[in-house]
A and B are shown apart, each in its own frame.
Chain A
Amino acid sequence: MKNNGYQNQYFDYFKKISFILPALLLLLLLTAYPLYQVIIMSFYDYSNTDNPIFAGIENYTRFFVDPLFWKSLINTIIFTIVSVAFSFIIGMTFALLLNQQINTKFRAVFRSVLIFPWLTSSTVVAAIFMLMFNPFGLINHFLSMFGMDTLAQTAWLGNENTALASIIIANVWRSFPFMMLMLLAGLQTIPKDLYEAAELDGAGFFQRLLYITIPSLKNIILTLATLEFIWNFRAFDLVFLMTGGGPMNSTEILSTYIYQFAFRKLDFGYASATALFMLLVMVALSLFYVRKSISKED
C-alpha cells in the first residue's frame, strides 16, 4: 500500500457510506429535526401562541385525566384490531381461493381487479362509502329489498352506534387487497407435496390450513400484521373525511384528537405530548418488525 493506512481507512469508510448518506441526511432533516422540535414543544404551554412558556411535564399529565383522550385511545385500538383482523381474513380468503388450481387467465384477471381498492385514495374511498352509507344510499336500498325496513332508515355515519363500524368497513375494503397480494405471493412458495402428503394422511381443509399453510406463512403474516398495525394505528384520513370524529365523538381516534388540539385549538404543546405518547405505543408494539427486518442482515 502506497497510501497512508489511516487515510485509506477513512476514504474507504466514506466510500461505503456515501451510498446511504444522501438518503440518510434527507431523512434526518425531514424526520429527526421535526421530532426534536415536537419533543421541545411538548414541554411548552401555547395558550399564548406568540409567546409559549415552559410548562414542564404538565402537557404529559393532562391527557391522562381527559376522558376524551381515553375514548380516542380505545376507539383507535378498536379501529386497528378490527381492521387488521378483517382485512387479514378477507385477504387470506381471496389468497387461498386464487391459489387453487384454476385457469391462469381467470386468476390473473381477478387478482388484478381485486387490487383496485388498494389503489384508490382515501378521499375517493371516503366519497364512495359516504355515498353508499347515505340514508338513501345503496346499503339502505339493499336492506329494504330484504325487508329490513326499520334498519334501512339508519344514517350509518350520523349514528353514534354505527359510525365507527361504517368507517372500519370502508377501511377494510381499502386494505384487504394488500394482504391478499402478499399472502398469495407467500402461498405460492409453499411446496405442493406438503399438501399432497397431508391429503394422503387424510387431513381436511382446516387441518391443512392450521398445520401447513399458516405455519409456512408465519413470517410474512407477522410482518404484514405489524405493518398494517402501524398503518391503521396512525390512520387519519377516513375518519377526518367521513365523520370528523363525530357524532358525539363516537369516532374520535388519536390522530383526529391530536389534530383538533393542534389546528383547531392551536394547543401545540398538548398536541405534541399526545402525539409522542402515540409514537411510543407504536414503537413498543412494533419491535418485532424492527428486529426481524434487521436480522435479515445475517
Chain B
Amino acid sequence: MSKRGRVATYLSIIVLGSIALVPILWMISVMFRSNPDVFAVPLSLLPPEFTWEAFAKVFSNQDLMRLFLNSYIIAIAVTFICVLFAALAGYGFSRFEFKGKRTALIYILLTQMFPMVLLVIPYFLFVSRVGLYDTYWALILAYTSFALPFSIMMLRDFINTIPRELDEAAKMDGCGPFRTFFFIILPPSLPGLISTAVYTFILAWNEFLFAVMLTNSIASRPLTIGIGMLIGEFTTEWNALMALSFMASAPLIIVFLFVQKFFLQGLTAGSVK
C-alpha cells in the first residue's frame, strides 16, 4: 500500500471509529455530570463540572444493588447449564451417526426462529401454574432455551475442527465415548467453550422481555428491568441512568476483553468456511 493510502486508512479508522463510539463517550460524559448539567449549553464532551453524584445515587439504592446480584446469579446459572448441555450435544452431533440426527438438527435450528413474543405467552401461563412465577428458575429456564440452540451449533462446528484421529487413537487405547469426550475432546475445545459461555452470559445478562413478564419483585428481577424502570419513569435523572447503564455494561466488557482471543476463534470456527 502506498504511503498516502496508509495514512488514509488510519485516518478513516480513527474518524469513523470515533463517530461509532460517540454514544458510549456520551454515556460516560453524562454519568459524571450533575443532573442540571446533562443538557448544558454550550456542548462539550467533558462534563462542565466533574462529579460522582450519579454513582452515589446508584450505590445508595439498595434495590438496584439487589438487581445486580440477581443478574449475576441468573446469568451464571444459565451459562453453566448451557455450556454443559451444549458441549455434550455438540460432541454427539459432531461424532456420531444415528437415526433421527437430521430431524433433531433441523428442530434445533428451527427453535432459533421462534419469536420471543410467541414463547412468552405460554411461558407466562406455565410458570404461573407450576409456581415458578417471580423466581430465578423462571428466567434460567427461559434463557437456557434461547441460548442452547446457537450454543449447540457453535460447539458442533468447533468440535468438527478437532481431528478425528484423536478419537481413533483414544479408542485404540480403550477409551469409551464418555472418557474420550472428557479427556480428548474437551481440552482442545476450550476456545469453543469460552465463546459459548460468553455468548450465553451476554444473552442472559441482557434479556428484557421475559424478565418483564416472568418476574415481579426486587428479589428476582434482573438489572435490565432496573434500567427499563428508570426509563419508564420518564427520566428526569439521566445522569443516574447513564451511571447505571455503564455499570451494567462494564462487567461484559471486562470479561470480553479478557477472553476475546478465544471468543473470536470459537465464534468463527464453523461459519468462516
Instruction: List the interface of chain A (C-beta within 8 A of B).
Output: 13, 15-20, 22-24, 26-27, 30-35, 37-38, 41, 90, 93-94, 97-98, 100-102, 106, 110, 112-117, 119-132, 134, 136-138, 141-142, 145, 173, 176, 181-182, 185-186, 189, 219-220, 223-224, 230, 233-234, 236-237, 240-241, 254-255, 258-259, 262-263, 268, 271-272, 275-276, 278-279, 282-283, 286, 289-290, 293-294, 296-297
Stretch in B47-55, B89-97, B163-171 with 4+ CB within 8 Å of A? B89-97
Enumerate chain A residues within 8 angstroms of B144, measured Cβ to Cβ: 26, 30
A-B contact pairs, 9 of them (CB 8 A): A19-B91, A27-B149, A94-B17, A97-B16, A119-B253, A136-B39, A181-B267, A283-B110, A290-B106
Enumerate chain B residues within 8 angstroms of A125, measured Cβ to Cβ: 23
Asked whether A97 lies within 8 Å of B9 as measured between CB atoms, the reply is yes
Asked whether A128 lies within 8 Å of B245 as measured between CB atoms, the reply is yes
A37–B225 Cα gap in the complex (Å)?
27
* Majority secondary structure, A binding face: helix
- A236 contact from B88, B113, B181, B209, Cβ within 8 A: B209
Enumerate chain A residues within 8 angstroms of B206, measured Cβ to Cβ: 120-123
A289–B238 Cα gap in the complex (Å)?
42
* Closest beta carbon of chain B to A228's beta carbon, Å: 12
Asked whether B113 lies within 8 Å of A283 as measured between CB atoms, the reply is yes
Asked whether A112 lies within 8 Å of B16 as measured between CB atoms, the reply is no
A131–B14 Cα gap in the complex (Å)?
24
Per-position 1/0 for B67-80, Cβ under 8 A of A: 00000000000000
* Closest beta carbon of chain B to A141's beta carbon, Å: 4
Enumerate chain B residues within 8 angstroms of A236, measured Cβ to Cβ: 116-117, 208-209
- B248 contact from A16, A34, A121, Cβ within 8 A: A121
Cβ of B123 under 8 Å from chain A: yes
- B177 contact from A15, A93, A106, A119, Cβ within 8 A: A15
Per-position 1/0 for B119-142, Cβ under 8 A of A: 111110110000000000000011
Enumerate chain B residues within 8 angstroms of A223, measured Cβ to Cβ: 271
Cβ of B172 under 8 Å from chain A: no
- B268 contact from A35, A113, A182, Cβ within 8 A: A182
- A117 contact from B20, B38, B126, Cβ within 8 A: B20
Enumerate chain A residues within 8 angstroms of B102, measured Cβ to Cβ: 294, 297
| Nearest opposing residue in chain B for A103, CB measure | B10
Enumerate chain B residues within 8 angstroms of A129, measured Cβ to Cβ: 23
* Closest beta carbon of chain A to B144's beta carbon, Å: 7
Asked whether B231 lies within 8 Å of A127 as measured between CB atoms, the reply is yes
Enumerate chain B residues within 8 angstroms of A185, measured Cβ to Cβ: 264, 267-268, 272
| Nearest opposing residue in chain B for A90, CB measure | B20
Enumerate chain B residues within 8 angstroms of A282, measured Cβ to Cβ: 113, 115
Cβ of B108 under 8 Å from chain A: yes
Cβ of B35 under 8 Å from chain A: no
Asked whether A19 lies within 8 Å of B213 as measured between CB atoms, the reply is no
Enumerate chain A residues within 8 angstroms of B271, measured Cβ to Cβ: 182, 219-220, 223-224
Asked whether A16 lies within 8 Å of B96 as measured between CB atoms, the reply is yes
Asked whether B111 lies within 8 Å of A31 as measured between CB atoms, the reply is yes
Enumerate chain A residues within 8 angstroms of B253, measured Cβ to Cβ: 116, 119
Enumerate chain B residues within 8 angstroms of A286, measured Cβ to Cβ: 113
Q: Looking at B114, B177, B225, which has the most chain A CB atoms within 10 Å of its CB?
A: B114
